Amino acid sequence: MYQLKNPLFTILIFILSASMLVFSCASKQETTTKEEMIIKSDPKLLFLNYQMQKLNDKTNITLINQITTDGKLKDKTKTQVSTTVGDLECLVLDERLIQLERHTIKNPLKKIVEFINDAGELEKRQLNLDSAQFSLKLQLHPKARYIIINEITETNPIKHISTKIE
């Protein structure tokens, strides 16, 4: 076997080999923040059911019930929904009323139905309802404390209901 005459060179090669072995075995795990750990470890779903009624050109929204359960929403690519006057916006707020999320909801009182007419063609028609129920399914943000439902108008949104998350 070949012997090295310089012991300092032998020690240097040993130290480099040992350090390469140690660094190559280091963890490649991603670091996560405390908030991400809460979301990943215990995700919650929030189901909200509301009743919307229109009486004498005045809209009223009431909470039917809310359910919080373990679970995670399937990942969906968010598509930008065009909003029009009369649609609703759902705001998720924290305890200091800072907006965490915003979701849009098509007006539940304006239902689009498709049917086949007498000529055998597919036709769409809008039905204007006096009353309708709608549901929201949201991934519950760990800091979320309130849900606000607003109606979008031409000027400023009209606040209809504020729900405390239980």
pLDDT tens profile 29-58: 555 555 555 445 689 999 999 999 999 889
Rounded to whole angstroms, how far apart are CA atoms 13 and 70?
Answer: 55
CB 54 within 8 A of CB 131: yes
As a residue count, the chain comes to 166
pLDDT tens profile 110-156: 999 999 999 999 999 999 999 999 999 999 999 999 999 999 999 99
- 35-76+83-164: what CATH class? mainly beta
13 by Cβ neighbours in 10 Å (0-12 / 13-18 / 19+) ranks as exposed
Is the pTM higher than 0.75? The answer reads no
- 51-to-101, 135, 143, 148, 158 alpha-carbon distances in Å: 22, 9, 26, 14, 17
Listed in order, strand segments (DSSP E) in 44-140 are 44-55, 58-70, 88-93, 99-105, 110-116, 122-128, 131-140
Grouping H, G, I as helix, E, B as strand and the rest as coil, residue 43 is coil
